[in-house]
A and B are shown apart, each in its own frame.
Chain A
C-alpha cells in the first residue's frame, strides 16, 4: 500500500507543478483522477470520478487574486479515498469538497508568505545576479508541490485506514443520498459558468445549445461544431452591416461628449506610445536570435511558479526575460537595472504573457542600443498592457476554450472513456501552446503594431462575441447531457399510474436539471456565497433522495 501512497502523492505533486508547466490544466481532476485510478487498479472508475469532480469544480476558476478551492489536493485525495474503500464518485466528491477548501487556506498562506522572498529577489537584482533570481524563482516554485505533496502523503498515511473502515459501514440510504446530492452539484458548476458568460444579448445561444442537446441528443462535440459555425456567421454579419451600431450607441451623445473609441492610431502622443512605436519601427534585428525567443517562450511556462500576493508574477516575468537580458546587457550595472525593471509588480493571463514579453524584449534591445531611449517606457508599456491583455486572454481561454474542452472531455469521461481526459488536454493546450509560442515572436517583431491592428478593425469585438456565443452554446448543452436528476413520482391510481418523469420527458426533457441550474444561477446573481449553495444543494439532494422526490 505504501507504494501506492507514494505514487498517489507523486500525482498530487505533478498536479501542483502546473504553475511550472504553463498553467496547462494538468492539475484538473479530469486529468489527475484517472492517474489515481490507474495506480489503484481501477482506471475506469478513476475516469468517471474525474469527470464528476470536474463538473462540480468547473466554474471555480481563478480570476485575478480570487483563489479557488485547491481542487488538486482535494481531487486527488477524494478520488484516492473513494477508490481505496471501493466506493464511487459520490463519496469521492463528498470528501473532495471539504478537503479542497481546507487545502486552499494553506495555499493562500503560501502565497502570502512568498512575499517575504521579495527582499531576496531585490538583493539579487541589485547585484545583477540573474542566476540567483532564476534559482530562487524555481526553488520557491517547488515549495507548493512539495508542501502539498507532503500533506497528501500524510493524509493518505493517517486517513486511509480509519476512513475506509468508516466508509465500509456506511448505511445504504446514506450512499444513495450522497449519490443524488452529488448529481445535484453540477448545477452549481454550470451556474458559476453562466455567471461568467450569460449576457442578455447572447442568451438565445444558451437555449439553442440546450435544445440541441435535450431534444436532439447531439453530443457536445457536435454542438461545439455548430457553435463555431454560428459564431462565424453571426460575427461576420453583425459587424459588416454598420460599424458601431451593434452597441446601440447614441450618436448625438457622442458628438457632445467625444467618445474615445480608438479610431486613429496615427495620432501618437504620450510617453508610452512613443516608446511602443519606437519598438515597432525599430530595426529589431541582430542581437536577439530565434533561439533566445524560443527560450523566453519555454521560460514563460513558469510564469506563475512564484505567484505571491505582493508582486504576483513578477519573478516569472524576469525569469522568462533573462535569456534576452543576458544577451543585451554584458555589464553588471546594466543587468542590475534591467532585472530591477522586470521585478516590478506584474500580473496577466499566462496564456497571453509572451506577447508582452516579446514587446519588452524588443524595447530592451532598443534601449541597449540607444541610451537616449527612456527605460521608464518599457515599464509603462508592460503595465499598460498587462490588465487589458489579461481580460482578452482569460476570456478566450478560461471563458471559452476551457468550457468546450471540459464539456467534450467530461461527456466522454462520464462513460469511462479514456479519450475524455486526453481530448480535454488537447483541445485546450494545442491552441494555447501554439498561440503562446507564436506570440513571443509576434510581440518581438511587430510589437504594439499588432495590437493597434486588433483594436482598429473590431477584431477583438468579433472575437469576444464569437467566443461568448460558442461558449454559451456548450454551457447550454451541459444541464441536458452532463446531469442526471429524475423525479421518481407516480401520479394516479397505483394500477394505471403515470410516471411524472416520463410526462416531463415528453414535454421538455432535462427540464429538472435546467430548472435547478437556473435556480442556482439566480442565487449566484444575488451574491449568495458559493459555500452555502454547495451545502444547500447537497442537502436538497440528500433530503430529496430520502423522501423520494429526486433520484
Chain B
C-alpha cells in the first residue's frame, strides 16, 4: 500500500527517517530514480540513512511501476521518494494508486523560482504540475507531517 509519494531532492534524510516514516508507520522506503538505481555508491550512501527496521528499495522508474503493480507490494506500507517533479509525473502516470503527491524539498536551481521555504520550481516543473493537476491529483506542500497541507496551486 502506498502511504505517501514524496518529491524530495535529498531523498532519504532526517525529515524522512524521523518524521514521515514513523508518522505513517512506514516499513518500506522506495527510492525511484533511474540514475541512482545504477550507481552503487549512491545506493550505499542511501542505505546508511535507512531507519532501523525499514526496508529500502532503490529502483528505476520503470521497475518501480512494475513493483507497485505487483499485488505483493500491497503487504508493505510504502513511502515512495523521487527527486524531481518529472519523476513524480512519470510514476503517477504508470501507477493509478498514486492520487496525491507531497512536495517536500526542491532546492534552488538555475531558472527555478522559489515558491516556498523549501520548494523552488522551474518552468518545466510548472508544466508537469499542470499536467498532474489536470489529472486530478492532490499536490500538497509539507516538509514534515505536522505542517499544515498547502496546495501547490496556491503557491504558484
A276 and B41 in contact (CB under 8 A), knowing A66-B144, A389-B48, A395-B18? Answer: yes
Q: Are B19 and A63 in contact (CB under 8 A)?
A: yes
Select from chain A the residue with minimum beta-carbon distance to B21: A199
Within 8 Å of chain B (Cβ to Cβ): is A247?
yes
Q: Are A270 and B146 in contact (CB under 8 A)?
A: no
Q: Are A461 and B52 in contact (CB under 8 A)?
A: yes
Q: Which of A84-92, A159-167, A446-454 contacts B (4 or more CB under 8 A)?
A: A446-454
Nearest-Cβ distance from residue B155 to partner chain A, whole angstroms: 15
Within 8 Å of chain A (Cβ to Cβ): is B16?
yes
Nearest-Cβ distance from residue A196 to partner chain B, whole angstroms: 5
Q: Which of A212-220, A286-294, A325-333, A380-388 contacts B (4 or more CB under 8 A)?
A: A380-388
Interface SS majority for chain A:
helix
Q: Are A196 and B18 in contact (CB under 8 A)?
A: yes
Note all chain B residues with C-beta closer than 8 A to A451.
Answer: 44-45, 48
Q: Which of B22, B44, B56 contacts A195 (CB 8 A)?
A: B22
Nearest-Cβ distance from residue B149 to partner chain A, whole angstroms: 10
Cα distance A462–B122 when bound, in Å? Answer: 41
Q: Are B52 and A272 in contact (CB under 8 A)?
A: no
> A423-458 toward B: CB 8 Å interface, digit per residue (1/0)?
000000000000000000000000010011011000
Cα distance A454–B41 when bound, in Å? Answer: 13
Cα distance A246–B52 when bound, in Å? Answer: 10
Q: How many residues of A contact B (CB 8 A)?
A: 66
A65 and B146 in contact (CB under 8 A), knowing A394-B14, A461-B52? Answer: no
Q: Are B56 and A261 in contact (CB under 8 A)?
A: yes
Q: Are A198 and B22 in contact (CB under 8 A)?
A: yes
Within 8 Å of chain B (Cβ to Cβ): is A311?
yes
Cα distance A390–B19 when bound, in Å? Answer: 14
Q: Are A391 and B41 in contact (CB under 8 A)?
A: no
Cα distance A455–B12 when bound, in Å? Answer: 15
Q: Are A464 and B40 in contact (CB under 8 A)?
A: no
- Beta-carbon contacts under 8 Å, B66-96 to A: 66-67, 70, 72, 75
Q: Which of A257, A273, A452 contacts B67 (CB 8 A)?
A: A257
Q: Which of A31-39, A412-420, A523-531, A537-545 contacts B (4 or more CB under 8 A)?
A: A523-531
Note all chain A residues with C-beta closer than 8 A to B55.
Answer: 247, 249, 259
> A370-399 toward B: CB 8 Å interface, digit per residue (1/0)?
000000000001001111111110110001
Within 8 Å of chain B (Cβ to Cβ): is A201?
yes
Note all chain B residues with C-beta closer than 8 A to A384.
Answer: 41-42, 45
Q: Are B18 and A309 in contact (CB under 8 A)?
A: no
Q: How many residues of B contact A (CB 8 A)?
A: 53
Q: Are A455 and B19 in contact (CB under 8 A)?
A: no
Cα distance A112–B13 when bound, in Å? Answer: 22
Note all chain A residues with C-beta closer than 8 A to B14.
Answer: 63-64, 349, 390-391, 394-395
Q: Are B146 and A527 in contact (CB under 8 A)?
A: yes
Q: Which of B11, B18, B43 contacts A399 (CB 8 A)?
A: B18
Within 8 Å of chain B (Cβ to Cβ): is A268?
yes
Note all chain A residues with C-beta closer than 8 A to B57.
Answer: 257, 259-260
Select from chain B the residue with minimum beta-carbon distance to A118: B108
Within 8 Å of chain B (Cβ to Cβ): is A262?
yes
Q: Are B42 and A64 in contact (CB under 8 A)?
A: no
Note all chain A residues with C-beta closer than 8 A to B143.
Answer: 64-66
Q: Are B145 and A527 in contact (CB under 8 A)?
A: yes
> A254-265 toward B: CB 8 Å interface, digit per residue (1/0)?
001101111011
Nearest-Cβ distance from residue B72 to partner chain A, whole angstroms: 5
Nearest-Cβ distance from residue A255 to partner chain B, whole angstroms: 12
Within 8 Å of chain B (Cβ to Cβ): is A468?
yes
Select from chain A the residue with minimum beta-carbon distance to B31: A260
Q: Which of B13, B40, B107 contacts A265 (CB 8 A)?
A: B40
- Beta-carbon contacts under 8 Å, B42-67 to A: 42-59, 63, 66-67
Within 8 Å of chain A (Cβ to Cβ): is B156?
no
Q: Are B41 and A390 in contact (CB under 8 A)?
A: no
Q: Are B37 and A260 in contact (CB under 8 A)?
A: yes
Nearest-Cβ distance from residue B110 to partner chain A, whole angstroms: 11
Name the residue in A270, A276, A448 with the highest tally of chain B Cβ atoms < 10 Å from its Cβ.
A270
Q: Which of A63, A249, A525 contacts B15 (CB 8 A)?
A: A63
Q: Are A201 and B15 in contact (CB under 8 A)?
A: no
Within 8 Å of chain B (Cβ to Cβ): is A1?
no
Select from chain A the residue with minimum beta-carbon distance to B55: A247
Q: Which of A249, A253, A388, A399 contacts B49 (CB 8 A)?
A: A388
Q: Are A265 and B44 in contact (CB under 8 A)?
A: yes
Within 8 Å of chain B (Cβ to Cβ): is A142?
no
- Beta-carbon contacts under 8 Å, B106-156 to A: 107-108, 114, 117-118, 143-147
Q: Are B22 and A386 in contact (CB under 8 A)?
A: no
Q: Are A385 and B45 in contact (CB under 8 A)?
A: yes
Q: Are A394 and B18 in contact (CB under 8 A)?
A: yes
Cα distance A387–B122 when bound, in Å? Answer: 22
Q: Are A460 and B48 in contact (CB under 8 A)?
A: yes
Q: Are A65 and B49 in contact (CB under 8 A)?
A: no
Residues of B within 8 A of A (CB): 10-19, 22-23, 35, 37-59, 63, 66-67, 70, 72, 75, 105, 107-108, 114, 117-118, 143-147
**What would 25 A/B residue contacts be, using CB atoms closer than 8 Å?**
A64-B143, A65-B105, A65-B143, A66-B144, A112-B117, A198-B22, A201-B52, A247-B54, A247-B55, A250-B72, A253-B72, A260-B56, A260-B58, A260-B59, A265-B44, A272-B41, A273-B42, A310-B114, A345-B108, A389-B48, A392-B49, A448-B44, A460-B47, A464-B52, A527-B145
Nearest first, the 7 closest Cβ-Cβ pairs linking A and B are A391-B49, A270-B39, A387-B10, A388-B49, A273-B41, A387-B13, A464-B52
With A64-B118, A247-B54, A271-B39 given, name 6 new contacts (CB 8 A): A64-B13, A65-B143, A269-B38, A311-B107, A349-B14, A395-B17
